[in-house]
Amino acid sequence: MTPINDAPLASGSATLATNEDDGNPPGDTVGHLFGGNFNDSADQQQSASNPTGSVANTLAGVAITGNSADASQGTWQYSTDNGTHWTTIAATGLSDSNSLVLSSSAQLRFVPAPDYNGVPGQLTTRLIDSSTTVITGSVTGADLATGDTAISGVDVSGAHNGGTTAVSAATVALDTPVAAINDAPIASGGATLAPAGEDSNPPGDTVGHLFGSNFNDSADQQQSASNPTGSVANTLAGVAITGNGADASQGAWQYSTDSGAHWTTIPTTGLSDSNSLVLSSSAQLRFVPAPDFNGVPGQLTTRLIDSSTTVVAGSVTGADLAAADTAIASVDVSGAHNGGATAVSTATVNLGTTVTAVNDAPLASGSASLAPSIEDTAAPPADTVGHLFGSNFNDSADQQQSVSNPSGSVANTLAGVAITGNGADSSQGAWQYSTDNGAHWTTIPTTGLSDSNSLVLSSSAQLRFVPAPDFNGVPGQLTTRLIDSSTTVVTGSVTGADLATGDTAISGVDVSGAHNGGATAVSATTVELGTTVTAVNDAPVASGSATLGAVNSSDPNPQGGQVGNLFGGNFNDSADQQQSAANPTGSTANPLAGIAITGNGANSAQGTWQYSSDGGKSWNNVPASGLGDGDAIVLASSDSLRFKPSGGFSGTPGGLTVRLIDGSSGAVTDATGVDLGAVGGTTRYSGATVSLSTQVTSTNRPFLTPPPQIIPGFNTPDGNSTQEDPNSDNSKFPDDTLVPPAEGRGHRSSLYGEPVIPQVWLTGSIGNRFVIEEQHAIIQVPSNLFDDTYPGATLEYDARAPGGGALPEWVEFDSRNLTFTGTPPAGSHGTVEVEIVARDQFGNQAYATFQITVGREPDDLEQMLQRVGVKEPVARAELPHQAVRHTTTQQHPLPGTRQSVEPHHAQAQPVASTGSHGAADAAADAAMTTPVQMGRRAFSAQLRDAGPIGKILQARQIVETIAEVAPVESR
């Protein structure tokens, strides 16, 4: 039997879930939505006993024949591309004869209108099976099942449904309940608290009453006759206070959660959307004005909260808030915590109020300043009370009269001040006043003034500050209360109006307690009157005299003293030291920046004063005449001074006369021919001068002047001398051993016609040096320390530790300038042994050793000198010299000569050389007999084999290398 299709059976209804305000719900397929409503069991005939029977069809799609949802509810939509695009299903025109056919793979959804919740109108559908029966045109149910299709205008009415068609005779409704989601309340307008009188204790009002008219939750009112399941609008549950614009000068906003029994002040700072104060609708609010305040104080900024079950803070919902009298601090209502589906309004509502004015004392604010005066001025600036304090005075609280309020009070003017305190002391200067336009001045007392004992001055009186000598900075201030021109009595029978019309000073006036503020004529707050005294330089004070350490009369290169060290004890700039804990802006004393040499009392017979600006590398003579204030030599404090004696002069030479220079204008630049102009006063030059003196001590060292008589040569037939002047540069040891001429070395004949062998010879001395840790040091080696007997010999120098070891890393040696430089690091305290080696081009060499002693501070030097037996302070920072070793290495020793000269201790009384061989030997022997007790140790050696003239020259060399011997204390 041939099968005939049976239309599918449709039963029940289908449901699609949606949430309120979901603008893009996901939707669901037709097959999934209506699968449970479809039945084609009538076509299921195939079985084991009927293997050729027909098989039941599946759900191929639906024909939508009706849409009862309207635009206020939302829109039904379908998609045939898996939700990429959605098409709205028409709300009208659909019917059995004009249906919209969708395949089972098509999707359906409901997009609710904004704020809508409840059950919108349904879709009415007929189910279509997957048979080969034609549905419309040539499209069968089987075609529909295999495609993602939407066909409009399909007729499924009458004979086109049921029976043997592919369309169900019964319909299935598709419902979609839209779940309610809370809508934040709408806040609008502003709220007003009833006015309060100035200085009153006003009652409050409830949050519900204050903000009720600003609250709107109509978006949640969806329930109606046509939507009986819609949500109902919430009520005002409370407010979140997010800001307080009032300040303490206006008063305080307060709240109460116990019907006004107790009040809590709402903070004026710290409130915000993220840190709000939440109050329930039954809580009360009020504004308590500050004393004397009237007008409009700063407002409270709030957000409104509805009574929904949405959480507001922690577990507290709007419904909970509505049911209690509650205050909750630190609630976050910012960002996502307001608006949308929250219980908190997006918009804010300001709560304001007004304070009714009464007559008030003037308001004083800020501080006043008197124009700066100049240090040591005899005529400091003055100003009137009215001009000084005018900008600090405010009586606007009494300015109520206007076009709209013609009977209101009028603001008063500044009538004067009551001086209640004087912070200046006599070391700073004196505040003074005048009531006769500056003809006479009266000093304001520094003690005794107070609110109960004030000095009242009218607005036309003048004030000034007279600084004490040398004072600069900020003196103590005057403390004042301002007085208005009202008819209120200030003291006795004198009113503010009386004070305003006279040039008056009244002492002993009480403005304390009830005599200021309120309804008085005196301000409740004070105004400080300050000033500054501009610093003017005070010339440094020079006192006493300075002394340069004693100079050895035979020292060809005496050391000097640094200007800063020489004159530091004579310099005083304490007049400029005004800065202190009590005067932090005062000036500070300047350092000694240098000196101006204005006189030189030394003559050429005594020697020459010299100065150096390069650490002693080079020295310049100070002119013996012509110096003065108009033609001075200016030296920096880092420069050096020394005295270089002439000939055998000893004693006290003429000193230098100097003016000290402070650092008020910065560093001093060396210059000559400087016209100092004015000195003292406010200049940088001291008014007084300081004398620098020194002492030239005699020495036992002989002076070979005039030069010794030239001795005729013994081997010249005419008796003419072949000997050179022993004082000339070519007279160094002419009778040393021979060098064969074949070696090509330079030579010349000795007294006996023998060639002179070149050798390096020690001709000077070097003392030990004292330096300080972490301070840069420069040690200059005397340029005449070594010499060579060969004319034009070239010497090369090296520095090392004795025995050839390395010197510390901080010691640097410049062999070209014979200079040691370096900065001893911290912890290098001790002694560094240094050996200097001189070599000539013939391989000869000589050595000199000395010590660099490193101290932690300058006092270490004196302690070290005491340990080695020095009883008196020394003029230069040197320790006793060390013995110097001298070795001459010869390439070709001859019989009868010595290979080296060994070191010996220096002698106290050297003997001058004579013309005899034996006398010269005796002189050398005597030179080794007396030990040095203190002072320098000098080179000494035995005379080598030589002729009489050679002995003389050798003895002379020994004598010239002996340094001055300091006196030995008798025991």
Residue bearing tokens 């270490």:
860
Residue pair 848/798 in contact by the 8 Å Cβ criterion: no
pLDDT value, residue 516: 96
Task: Tell if the pTM clears 0.85, that is, is over it.
Answer: no
Q: What are phi and psi of 566, to 5 degrees?
A: -65, -40
Residue bearing tokens 């023998």:
754
**What CATH number has the domain spanning 760-887?**
2.60.40.10
pLDDT value, residue 965: 33
Lowest mean pLDDT among 120-129, 691-700, 739-748: 739-748
Alpha-carbon distance values, 157 to 94, 161, 167 (Å): 12, 6, 9
Q: Amino acid identity, residue 327?
A: A
Alpha-carbon distance values, 762 to 797, 848, 883 (Å): 13, 8, 12
pLDDT of 895 strictly over 80: no
User: What is the mean predicted confidence (pLDDT) over 292-315?
Assistant: 91
Lowest mean pLDDT among 251-265, 282-296, 793-807: 793-807
Which SS3 state, helix, strand or coil, does residue 402 take?
strand
User: What is the mean predicted confidence (pLDDT) over 789-811?
Assistant: 82
SS3 content of the chain, % helix, strand, coil (to 5): 10, 35, 55
Residue bearing tokens 């609250």:
215
Q: Amino acid identity, residue 559?
A: Q
pLDDT of 84 strictly over 50: yes
Spatial distance between the Cα atoms of 319 and 95, rounded to a whole number of angstroms? 46
More confident residue, 349 or 829: 349
Q: Amino acid identity, residue 116?
A: Y
Residue pair 927/907 in contact by the 8 Å Cβ criterion: yes
More confident residue, 880 or 534: 534
Angle at CA 388, nearest 5°, toward 383 and 390? 135
Condensed to tens digits (0 to 9), the pLDDT of residues 730-766 reads 433 333 333 333 333 334 444 434 444 566 666 666 7
User: What is the mean predicted confidence (pLDDT) over 861-867?
Assistant: 57
Cβ count near 508 (within 10 Å):
11
pLDDT of 595 strictly over 80: yes
- Kindly state the helix (H) or strand (E) to which residue 34 belongs, with its residue range: helix 30-34
Spatial distance between the Cα atoms of 193 and 209, rounded to a whole number of angstroms? 10
Give me the residue spans of the domains in the chain: 9-179, 186-356, 363-534, 541-697, 760-887
- Kindly state the helix (H) or strand (E) to which residue 457 belongs, with its residue range: strand 454-458
Condensed to tens digits (0 to 9), the pLDDT of residues 622-653 reads 999 999 999 999 999 999 999 999 988 999 99
Lowest mean pLDDT among 198-207, 382-391, 507-516: 198-207
Encoded tokens for 388: 């000084």
- Kindly state the helix (H) or strand (E) to which residue 502 belongs, with its residue range: none
Which SS3 state, helix, strand or coil, does residue 296 take?
coil
Residue pair 214/191 in contact by the 8 Å Cβ criterion: yes
Concatenating the DSSP letter of every residue in 872-927 gives S--SSS-PPPPP--B----SS--TT--S-B------SS-----SSHHHHHHHHHHT
Concatenating the DSSP letter of every residue in 53-112 gives S-----EEEEEEEEE---TTTEEEEEESSTTSS-EEPPSSS-BTTBEEEEETT-EEEEEE
pLDDT value, residue 859: 65
Encoded tokens for 891: 């390439």
Lowest mean pLDDT among 49-53, 154-158, 229-233, 836-840: 836-840
pLDDT value, residue 968: 33
CA-closest candidate to residue 685, choices 621, 577, 598, 611: 598
pLDDT of 866 strictly over 60: no
Encoded tokens for 292: 């004397």
Confidence class for position 798, pLDDT limits 50, 70, 90: confident
pLDDT value, residue 329: 96
CA-closest candidate to residue 507, choices 438, 420, 576, 424: 420
Alpha-carbon distance values, 392 to 112, 413, 480 (Å): 64, 11, 11
**b/e for 90-122, b at 16 or more Cβ within 10 A?**
ebeebebeebbbbbbbbbbbbbbbebbbbbbbb
pLDDT value, residue 894: 31
pLDDT value, residue 359: 67
Condensed to tens digits (0 to 9), the pLDDT of residues 520-543 reads 999 999 999 999 999 999 999 999
% of the chain beyond a pLDDT of 70: 80
Residue pair 241/302 in contact by the 8 Å Cβ criterion: yes
CA-closest candidate to residue 505, choices 575, 457, 541, 537: 457
Encoded tokens for 239: 């407010």
pLDDT value, residue 76: 98
The distance of Cα 867 from the centroid of its chain, to the nearest Å, equals 49
Spatial distance between the Cα atoms of 540 and 575, rounded to a whole number of angstroms? 8
Q: What are phi and psi of 640, to 5 degrees?
A: -125, 155
Instruction: Name the most confidently modeled range: 451-465, 849-863, 896-910.
Output: 451-465
pLDDT value, residue 408: 57
pLDDT of 881 strictly over 80: no
SS (H, E, C) 814-844: ECCCCEEEECCCCCCCEEEEEEEEEECCCCC
Residue pair 460/386 in contact by the 8 Å Cβ criterion: yes
More confident residue, 704 or 636: 636
Encoded tokens for 649: 């002069």
- For the chain, what is the mean pLDDT? 83
SS (H, E, C) 304-336: EEECCCCEEECCEEHHHHHCCCCEEEEECCCHH
Residue pair 34/14 in contact by the 8 Å Cβ criterion: yes
Condensed to tens digits (0 to 9), the pLDDT of residues 436-476 reads 999 999 999 999 999 999 999 999 999 999 999 999 999 99
pLDDT of 947 strictly over 70: no
Residue pair 199/294 in contact by the 8 Å Cβ criterion: no
Q: How many helices (H) and strands (E) does the chain have?
A: 10, 71
pLDDT value, residue 20: 87
Lowest mean pLDDT among 190-194, 676-680, 805-809: 805-809
User: What is the mean predicted confidence (pLDDT) over 114-128?
Assistant: 94
More confident residue, 830 or 661: 661
Encoded tokens for 465: 């500050």
Residue bearing tokens 């009520």:
235
User: What is the mean predicted confidence (pLDDT) over 96-124?
Assistant: 95
% of the chain beyond a pLDDT of 90: 64
Q: Is 912 exposed, middle or buried (0-12, 13-18, 19+ CB in 10 A)?
A: middle
Compute the CA torsion angle 148, 151, 157, 163 (nearest 10 deg): -30
pLDDT value, residue 745: 35
Spatial distance between the Cα atoms of 760 and 884, rounded to a whole number of angstroms? 14
Spatial distance between the Cα atoms of 253 and 285, rounded to a whole number of angstroms? 7
More confident residue, 615 or 39: 39
The distance of Cα 917 from the centroid of its chain, to the nearest Å, equals 81
Q: What are phi and psi of 758, to 5 degrees?
A: -65, 145
- Kindly state the helix (H) or strand (E) to which residue 951 belongs, with its residue range: helix 948-960
